[in-house]
Amino acid sequence: MSDAILKLTDVCYRYTDGTRALESCSLTIRRGTRTAVLGDNGAGKTTMFLHLNGILRPNSGQVLCDGVPLDYSRSSMRKLRSRVGMVFQNPDSQLFSANVREDISFGPMNLGLDEILVRKRVDDALLAVGMVDCADKPVHNLSYGQKKRVCIAGVLAMQPEIIVLDEPMAGLDAAMQEELTIILERLHISGMTIIIATHDLDFAYGWADKVIVMQTGQVIAHGDPTEILLREDVQNKLGAAPIVAEITRRLSLIGIELRDKEYLLRRKQDLLEALTAYRTQEKKT
Ligand SMILES: Nc1ncnc2c1ncn2[C@@H]1O[C@H](COP(=O)(O)OP(=O)(O)OP(=O)(O)O)[C@@H](O)[C@H]1O
Ligand SMILES: [Mg+2]
């Protein structure tokens, strides 16, 4: 099994108004994994994320990177933030430059890269999120979805080791959601560790190799999606079952077995292909 790259042990965090956002929150993120974090509004997902790159500091408990507790010094925070790239839930919290190219350049420039390399990274990132045509546009004139794309590009241009995305799909059109899924797949293949907060249970079930379910500032379940998201107590908490799992289960009740014993269908595309294969098989027999 891959080793722990980020770890929270018994982290408690209270905002200045007294809200207890994390209560003894413990979790481990292993290198190279794709983790989806689920939980109701206010469960603590964003607060937990802000601990992963040291923006927030626990009132008690520890955050560890590669087994070493964060010391919150200026130099180690700088190092941490070049390793852990964060795409915020609200793009307006992330964008601050006058135009798109400037904003995406900021991170790589701060890494001390030379101008040609910065330009190449920015061009590649703009291309990856389909924003080449908007490169010189003022940030404040962009639509919400376009702002989100620029935030994602800004993090891609940093080429971090770990990328943390807080509800990245929210506000993106269907085509961009599909493209982002492909980008994430490429990043995963290149060895990046990816952590995503999402309310999309079906995306989590199909995409993640680990899921974390949070409730009132705590982790209530952590493990493989086919184990965690099929648990009745988890489904009751989240208010739903993954649609592919539910359709497969109901078809099985009427005698249509789409899955073999080893392999659980997880993505909508897999379900559609299995249905087509089943029909073809039926016609032959
Ligand atoms: N700046 C803040 N000051 C005070 N309370 C806050 C602040 N930010 C968040 N909270 C509170 O902390 C708790 C956890 O919020 P958080 O934003 O981490 O939840 P979340 O799981 O990300 O929710 P969502 O799905 O809506 O994004 C909530 O009760 C929220 O009201
Ligand atoms: Mg949030």
The mean per-residue pLDDT over the stretch 103-123 comes to 93
Q: Ligand 1 atom closest to Cα of 199?
A: 25
Q: Where are the domains of the chain?
A: 4-96+159-241, 242-285
Rounded to the nearest whole angstrom, what is the distance from the C-alpha of residue 95 to the centroid of ligand 2? 17
Q: Lowest mean pLDDT of 41-50, 56-65, 129-138, 270-279, name the range.
A: 270-279
Q: Which residues, 6+ apart, have CB-to-CB distance to 165 below 8 Å?
A: 86, 87, 152, 155, 194, 195, 196, 197
From 11, 19, 27, 196, mutation site for ligand 1 pocket: most ligand atoms within 8 A of C-beta: 19
Query: In the prediction, which pLDDT does 2 show?
Result: 52
The mean per-residue pLDDT over the stretch 144-165 comes to 93
Q: Lowest mean pLDDT of 164-168, 181-185, 256-260, name the range.
A: 256-260
Query: In the prediction, which pLDDT does 260 show?
Result: 62
Rounded to the nearest whole angstrom, what is the distance from the C-alpha of residue 47 to the centroid of ligand 1? 6
Q: Ligand 1 atom closest to Cα of 89?
A: 27
Rg of the chain over CA atoms, in angstroms?
Answer: 20
Q: Whose CA is nearest to atom 28 of ligand 1?
A: 42
The mean per-residue pLDDT over the stretch 161-167 comes to 95
Rounded to the nearest whole angstrom, what is the distance from the C-alpha of residue 217 to the centroid of ligand 2? 12
44 in contact with ligand 1, CB cutoff 6 A: yes
From 11, 14, 15, mutation site for ligand 1 pocket: most ligand atoms within 8 A of C-beta: 15
* CATH architecture of the region 4-96+159-241: 3-Layer(aba) Sandwich (3.40)
204-231 pLDDT, tens digit per residue, is 999 999 999 999 999 999 999 999 999 9
Q: Which residues, 6+ apart, have CB-to-CB distance to 167 below 8 Å?
A: 89, 196, 197, 198, 199
Query: In the prediction, which pLDDT does 96 show?
Result: 82
List phi, psi (to 5°) of 4. -75, 125
Please count the other Cβ atoms lying within 10 Å of the Cβ belonging to residue 257: 11
The mean per-residue pLDDT over the stretch 144-173 comes to 92
Q: How confident is the model at residue 111 (pLDDT cuts 50, 70, 90)?
A: confident
Instruction: Name residue, tokens 């009740």.
Output: 253
Rounded to the nearest whole angstrom, what is the distance from the C-alpha of residue 273 to the centroid of ligand 2? 34
- β-sheet bridge partners, residue 214: 39, 219
The mean per-residue pLDDT over the stretch 168-187 comes to 86
Helices (H), 84-173: 100-110, 115-128, 144-156
The mean per-residue pLDDT over the stretch 122-149 comes to 92
Rounded to the nearest whole angstrom, what is the distance from the C-alpha of residue 280 to the centroid of ligand 2? 44
The mean per-residue pLDDT over the stretch 248-257 comes to 90
19 in contact with ligand 1, CB cutoff 6 A: yes
From 41, 214, 220, mutation site for ligand 1 pocket: most ligand atoms within 8 A of C-beta: 41
47 in contact with ligand 1, CB cutoff 6 A: yes
Sign of the Cα pseudo-torsion (263, 266, 270, 272, in order): positive
Q: How confident is the model at residue 278 (pLDDT cuts 50, 70, 90)?
A: confident
Rounded to the nearest whole angstrom, what is the distance from the C-alpha of residue 209 to the centroid of ligand 1? 26
What's the mean per-residue pLDDT of the chain?
92
Rounded to the nearest whole angstrom, what is the distance from the C-alpha of residue 273 to the centroid of ligand 1? 40
Q: How confident is the model at residue 251 (pLDDT cuts 50, 70, 90)?
A: very high
Q: Is the pLDDT of residue 1 over 50?
A: no
